[in-house]
Amino acid sequence: MNDDLLTLLKSVDTPTVCNAIEVAQGGRGFDRFTRGTMLCSDPDAGAIVGYARTAKIAALEPPSEAAEIIKARRMDYYRHMAEGPRPGLAVIEDLDGEGAVGAFWGEINTTVHKGFGLSGALTNGVMRDLGDLPEGFPVIAGSIGPSHAFVHVREIGTPVTVFGMEIADGDLIHADRHGAVVIPQDDIPKLADAIHKLLATEKLVLEPARAEGFDFDTFKEAWAAFENART
């Protein structure tokens, strides 16, 4: 991914990227996106774009492994987050699922991850300290809660599932307040042209619809132009 594409991706929202992938693929059917409603710590922050740094956590019950194993894995986790391609995005599956209670993403952890050069976090788990999270590090999470409970790292760098979307370590992710998508590797070279084409064709309907005197006949003409441009 070159700098121009990164700048373009950060300038558009996730629904636009989702639609643009379909343009790049030449039809509907793309399904590597999150399902359900997610929460964003900073809805006005714009899009997060980055290569996934994956891990799995749990917090409902104390860890059953020895303390030294848990501590060593924690350091391995932070090493994994500090390394890898940039821009990077922490992608964490909370194995407690809908019952997740451990707020892994609070003031300290977000500040540490931002310091590592990551762009944000995507998780089905819990966030907290909403008034104290660092600027420029959005967290897109499943819920908000007050406690870290027994949160501990279970796996590092393995494939994860967040809101129905499967993500491998290193996948390119685009995320914002709508949720997230995985950008397929094969579509990356075609994505900039697809985004520009999508935005141009949308104007064929949006500009007449926003103008005075818009009526059904104008819509019919605009929609015909829109459909012709998409084929």
Rounded Cα distance between 125 and 100, Å, is: 6
* Separation between Cα atoms, residue 90 and residue 151, nearest integer Å: 16
Domain ranges of the chain: 31-183, 189-230
Compute CA distances 141 → 67, 93, 138, 205, whole Å: 28, 10, 10, 34
Average pLDDT over residues 136-151: 97
Question: How buried is residue 157: exposed, middle or buried, by Cβ count under 10 Å (0-12/13-18/19+)?
Answer: middle
Rounded Cα gap, residues 187 and 219, in angstroms = 32
Q: Which helix (H) or strand (E) holds 114?
A: helix 107-115
Indicate whether 49 pLDDT > 90: yes
pLDDT at 228: 85
Name the average pLDDT for the chain: 96
Q: What is the pLDDT of residue 42?
A: 95
Q: From CA 124, how far away is CA 94, in angstroms rounded? A: 6
Q: Please say if the pLDDT value at position 230 is more than 80.
A: no
pLDDT average, residue stretch 87-113: 97
* CATH superfamily name and code, 31-183: Ribonuclease E inhibitor RraA/RraA-like (3.50.30.40)
pLDDT, residue 66, reads 96
Assigned token pair, 194: 């697809």
For 199-218, write each residue's pLDDT tens digit: 999 999 999 999 999 999 99
Average pLDDT score over residue span 26-45: 94
**What CA–CA distance (Å, rounded) separates 94 from 144?**
13
DSSP 8-state symbol, 187: G
Closest CA to 81 of 72, 71, 92: 92
What whole-number distance in Å separates Cα of residue 131 and Cα of residue 146? 13
Q: How many CB atoms lie within 10 A of CB 148?
A: 18
Distance CA 40, CA 48 (A): 11
What is the spatial distance between Cα 182 and Cα 54, in angstroms, rounded to a whole number? 13
For residue 184, is pLDDT > 70? yes
Does residue 107 register a pLDDT over 90? yes
pTM over 0.75: yes
Q: Is the pLDDT of residue 231 over 70?
A: no
Looking at residue 108, its pLDDT comes to 97
The span from the CA of 10 to the CA of 14, in Å, is 9
